[in-house]
Structure 1
Amino acid sequence: MPTENKLKGVRIGYALAGSFCTFEKSFKAAEKLRNMGAELLPIMSYNAAGVDTRFGKAEENIRRFEEITGRKVIKTIEDAEPIGPKRMCDVMVVAPCTANSAAKLAVGITDTPLTMAVKSHLRSGLPVVVAISTNDALGACAKNIGILQNYRNYYFVPYAQDDIVKKPASMVADLSLLPDTVEMALKGVQIQPVVFNSQFIIHNS
Structure 2
Amino acid sequence: MTSDGRRLQPRKQPRQVRAELTRQRILTAATHVFAEYGYAAGTTNRIAEQARISIGSLYQYYPNKDAILLELVNRHLDLGAAAMRQRQDEELPDSIEEIIRVFVRVAIGNHLGDTQLLRIMAEQVPQSPRLSERMDHLERERSTYLRELLDQHPEVRVDDTETAARLVVSTVERVVHHLIAAPDPIDIPRFENELVAMLTRYLTAAPADREPG
TM-score, normalised to structure 1, is: 0.28
Bigger CA radius of gyration = 2
Q: TM-score, normalised by structure 2?
A: 0.27
Normalized per residue, the structure richer in strand is: 1
Structure number with higher helix proportion: 2
